[in-house]
């Protein structure tokens, strides 16, 4: 996916030349991986002469947004909590009045310490 | 059914009974210790909660070992074998004289139900873990690596910062958050997440989640939620030590929370609004308060050690009491 997102050629032989040779992966493995990603709906392909040319169906941002949505869904069902520690909860937000009260407290402490408001 | 199977049934039944006893004892201990634990600094609180979470399993293993001790000693010194004193219908917890009767239908069904329930719960949890790990791996593999910061950048405007992964945890930060934070806030966020990675909080949380199955539901809920917040606060304290400013950490938490609120409103994300005091409020208030003095778990550990030694000292009585109880339940 990273290779295709970089705008590189999506023809199987070109992908193999760019990735497979360096990592010791055979042409068949590259071909079947691309086919699997196509079947999962992550890639699109066109037939140019006798070869398939693949390209990403989703942008990297769309792909990441989808994965994050799935992760938040799992968090809400209590399935992913053990794998992920988020800096602030992904699935639960503080009430606006709580947040305003806490911000006022922090601002006061910053004022008192001479650092002013941020 | 063979005598070996009868013996296995009785030992399993004893283990389940001890597990239930350990669970009830932990519930009582948690209730008694709750106010004291709340006053401890986060790192010690986290450790105490992990010990409480593992207490039912530890209790049942110690009780099972203490109960089996006379039989184990009889294996080494046959003169100390006391089984001939019992009649044949006795539920022997013995490795030399295997019992002629196993558990009757009702306790046997109880055993099958208990282990099936544990297996199904375990399978669901494992499936959830595998799915979440797959998502995290996909994110990490396709994110931009920023080796200067030791993070992977997720391409989304949503403000997200995660320490993710069980065995090889890594820090994932979204492009949106990276651009929204100033240098000091970024230092706080990264110090906090690196602390999670160093402490292996995800792995500990997974183990505690697995152990929570044997607790009473209310105790399990309390343990898991308190463990989560204790881990967050412990990482906040480490971040505060790292940047040398507790208020800066509180401020960074609120900046990220405010940014997340804006994103949730503008992108109509599916999030719940905390009812009452949420984790963010507890973390910020704790950072604004005076730091708590480090507490010691030594008295707690000594108490548990003395209890375990007492159980081994009472091994004979425990052995006979358990055999009598099993005879009553199993037959």
pLDDT tens digits, A97-114 = 888 999 999 999 988 887
Region of poorest pLDDT, from B81-85, B142-146, B156-160, B258-262 = B81-85
- B247 interface with A at CB cutoff 8 Å: yes
Exposed, middle or buried by CB within 10 Å (0-12, 13-18, 19+), for B63?
Answer: buried
| pTM for this entry | 0.83
β-strand pairing of B170-174 with B151-154:
parallel
> Which neighbouring-strand residues pair with A86?
B162
- With b for 16 or more beta-carbon neighbours within 10 A and e for fewer, the B109-128 pattern comes to eebeebeeeeeeeeeebeeb
pLDDT value at residue B190: 94
B274 chain-A contacts, CB cut-off 8 A: 89, 92-95, 98
pLDDT value at residue B275: 52
**Predicted-complex ipTM score:** 0.77
pLDDT value at residue A118: 47
- From B125, which residue of chain A is nearest by alpha-carbon distance? A79
Contacts of residue B132, defined as CB under 8 A and 6 or more positions apart, other chains included, come to A71, A74, A79, A80, A82, A83, A84
Q: What is the mean pLDDT of residues B76-89?
A: 74
Residue A83: strand, helix, or coil: coil
Tokens 């209730």, located at residue: B31
Per-residue pLDDT reduced to its tens digit, B140-168: 989 999 988 889 999 988 888 989 888 88
- B136 interface with A at CB cutoff 8 Å: yes
> What are the tokens at B5?
């199977």
pLDDT value at residue B268: 52
- With b for 16 or more beta-carbon neighbours within 10 A and e for fewer, the B182-214 pattern comes to eebbbbbbbbbbbbbbebbbbebbbebbbbbeb
pLDDT value at residue A116: 59
β-strand pairing of B272-273 with A92-93:
parallel
> What are the tokens at B79?
């003169």
- Does the distance separating the beta carbons of A68 and B160 come in below 8 Å? yes
pLDDT > 70: percent of chain B: 93
A37 chain-B contacts, CB cut-off 8 A: none
CA distances from B183 to A10, A107, A108, B205, B244 (A): 39, 18, 22, 30, 14
Q: How far apart are CA B178 and CA B138, in angstroms?
A: 20
Nearest to A2 among B142, B165, B251 (CB): B142
- Does the distance separating the beta carbons of B142 and A74 come in below 8 Å? no
- Does the distance separating the beta carbons of A94 and B155 come in below 8 Å? no
Which of B245, B259, B271, B272 best probes binding to A when mutated, by most A CB atoms within 10 angstroms? B271
Longest dimension (CA), chain A: 73
């Amino acid at each position: 996916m990273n290779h295709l997102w970089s705008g590189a050629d999506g023809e199987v032989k070109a992908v193999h030349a760019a990735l497979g040779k360096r990592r010791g992966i055979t042409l068949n493995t590259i071909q079947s991986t691309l086919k699997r990603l196509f079947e999962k709906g992550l890639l699109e392909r066109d037939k140019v002469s006798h070869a398939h040319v693949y390209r990403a169906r989703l942008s990297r941002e769309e792909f990441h947004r989808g994965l994050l949505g799935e992760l938040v869904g799992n968090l809400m069902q209590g399935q992913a909590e053990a794998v992920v520690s988020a800096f602030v909860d992904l699935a639960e937000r503080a009430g606006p009045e709580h947040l305003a009260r806490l911000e006022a407290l922090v601002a006061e402490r910053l004022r008192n310490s001479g650092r002013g408001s941020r | 059914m063979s005598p070996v199977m009868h013996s296995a049934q009785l030992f399993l039944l004893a283990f389940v009974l001890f597990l239930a006893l350990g669970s009830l004892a932990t519930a009582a201990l948690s209730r008694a210790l709750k106010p004291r634990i709340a006053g401890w600094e986060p790192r010690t609180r986290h450790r105490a909660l992990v010990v409480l979470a593992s207490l039912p399993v530890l209790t049942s293993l110690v009780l099972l070992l203490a109960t089996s001790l006379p039989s184990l000693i009889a294996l080494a010194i046959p003169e100390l074998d006391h089984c001939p004193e019992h009649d044949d219908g006795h539920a022997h917890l013995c490795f030399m004289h295997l019992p002629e009767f196993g558990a009757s239908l009702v306790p046997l069904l109880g055993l099958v139900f208990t282990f099936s329930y544990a297996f199904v719960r375990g399978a669901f949890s494992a499936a959830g873990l595998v799915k979440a790990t797959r998502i995290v791996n996909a994110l990490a593999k396709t994110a931009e690596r920023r080796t200067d910061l030791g993070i992977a950048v997720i391409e989304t405007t949503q403000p997200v910062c995660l320490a993710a992964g069980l065995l090889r945890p890594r820090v994932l930060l979204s492009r949106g958050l990276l651009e929204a934070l100033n240098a000091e806030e970024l230092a706080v966020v990264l110090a906090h997440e690196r602390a999670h990675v160093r402490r292996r909080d995800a792995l500990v949380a997974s183990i505690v989640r697995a152990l929570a199955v044997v607790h009473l539901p209310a105790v399990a809920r309390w343990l898991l939620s308190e463990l989560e917040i204790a881990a967050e606060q412990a990482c906040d304290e480490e971040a505060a030590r790292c940047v040398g400013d507790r208020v800066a950490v509180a401020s960074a938490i609120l900046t990220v929370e405010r940014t997340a609120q804006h994103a949730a409103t503008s992108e109509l994300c599916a999030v719940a609004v905390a009812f009452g005091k949420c984790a963010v409020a507890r973390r910020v208030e704790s950072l604004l308060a005076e730091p708590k003095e480090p507490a010691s778990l030594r008295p707690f550990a000594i108490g548990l050690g003395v209890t375990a030694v007492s159980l081994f000292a009472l091994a004979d009585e425990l052995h006979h009491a358990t055999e009598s109880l099993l005879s009553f339940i199993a037959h």
